Amino acid sequence: MPDIQELYRRYGGLVLRRVRRFYASEEANDVVHEVFCRAIEKQDTFRGESSAGTWLFRLTTRYCLNRLRDQKRRRELLDAQGDLGWWAPSTDTANQERVAMTRELWAELDEELALVGIYYHVDGMSQAEIAEVLAVSRRTVGNRLEALETLLRARVQR
Amino acid sequence: MSPLTRDGHLSDLGMELYALGELVPAAHSEAEAHLQACGACQGRRAAMDTIELPTAPEAAAPAQPPRLAVVPGGGAPKPAPAPEAGRRTRWWPAVVGTLALAAGALSMLLQPKPGAEYQLRGEGLTLEVYRDSEAGVEALGVGATVQAGDHLGFRLASAEPGHVLVFGVDARGVAWPAWPPGEAAHAVAVEAGPARALDAAVMLDDATGDERVLAVRCPDGFDFAAVAAHVGTEGPPSGLDPACAWVEVRLPRAAP
């Protein structure tokens, strides 16, 4: 794994663009720094099974999600930005209803289910791509999506 | 692994890995073929090159205290305009609420009409621009001029549902986000309905030349970055989907 300056030169844009899906630009720069610090801490988890870009994309998504899941942070966000722009799907054919419900549930969901929900409903990724990003099998992705659907359906019936 | 989303566009990750040259050859070819054929993804790809990275972590400068300025007519200090030329400051005021209320009471409702002040394509998209000042809230009608420090607010009516983004373009053809605020803004899904105040406003900087404020409504979602990469000094962003409607309000700068 290269040093932080080299990582930053090559992957700074990727990380910043990903962070901006979760945070407004004024806060995004700080989060980018935090992500790179985390990347250095976690560099031993990079085993070359995917590209470094994929590894950083996953690490950034997980970091942003967990930062948002912090209860205090969540409260601040909901107060200050009731409309979280990052839940807008990157493409329009994503299931808007599922996006809205995932948004409602994101703080309650298991981290892995929340990540699958973001990749599938918000990013519009295919199951194969999600499997590669999460370094799990397609079957695992399918199972998690099914579990997420079950939760969302239960929510609707509540 | 295909780098395409379920609806056939390049995924965010696929786009990043393509730009980095980290896709496997088959996926790279697939991404390249899609990019050649898809205007929306070409716009996303072009917008990637416009992003401005913060200073690298180890070389980060010490934090500076925020610059504050007193906004005329306001009780509390408001953020000063960003130092870089051509940028507009997000304006965080309680005045937004005031503006919305006052705007509702205004008897003059601007209707877009072809001519020097308004241009539009598509039915049923109306953009109104208001200025808040010590004198109160005024709708900027035909012949109105603007100047640095003006606080502008917006109202929008759409006769059709769609995704809407409101943005400005300065005389150099540089776009600035208005609603929703922020360079990372995504178009907001709106329902058909009467005019409503938008929860965002801007303070004009001291750039020279006329300002234009545009609202674009498209059937599908889109980002400010994609719009910013395609604006010019006249008219809507180039390559705009024919299914999109747009309206433009031109705001001449007052003579110094």
Q: Which residue of A has its CA nearest to B3?
A: A129
More confidently predicted of A46 and B75: A46
Quote the pLDDT of residue A21.
81
Q: B141 falls in which pLDDT band (50, 70, 90)? A: low
Q: Among B48, B86, B26, which residue's Cα sits nearest to residue A12?
A: B48
Residues of B in Cβ contact (< 8 Å) with A16 = 51, 53-54
Quote the pLDDT of residue B165.
92
Ordered domains of chain A (ranges, CATH): 1-87 (1.10.1740.10), 91-158 (1.10.10.10)
* CA atoms of A92 and B59, how far apart (whole Å): 39
The angle formed by the CA atoms of residues B214, B220 and B225, to the nearest 5 degrees, is 55
pLDDT higher than threshold 90 for residue A59: yes
Quote the pLDDT of residue B13.
92
pLDDT, averaged across chain A? 76
pLDDT tens digits along B174-194: 888 888 877 778 898 888 887
**Binary contact (B4, A36; C-beta < 8 A):** no
Quote the pLDDT of residue B154.
84
Average pLDDT (B70-95) is 30
* CA atoms of B131 and B137, how far apart (whole Å): 6
Cβ neighbours of B48 (radius 10 Å): 17
Q: Report domain extents, chain B.
A: 12-48, 87-251
Of B32-46, B121-135, B182-196, the range with the lowest mean pLDDT is: B121-135
Average pLDDT (B140-147) is 75
Average pLDDT (B43-51) is 82
Residues of B in Cβ contact (< 8 Å) with A18 = 12, 16
**Binary contact (B221, A18; C-beta < 8 A):** no
Sequence-separated (6 or more) residues with CB below 8 Å from residue A107: A69, A71, A74
Quote the pLDDT of residue B145.
83
pLDDT higher than threshold 70 for residue A32: yes
pLDDT higher than threshold 70 for residue B115: no
Quote the pLDDT of residue A1.
52
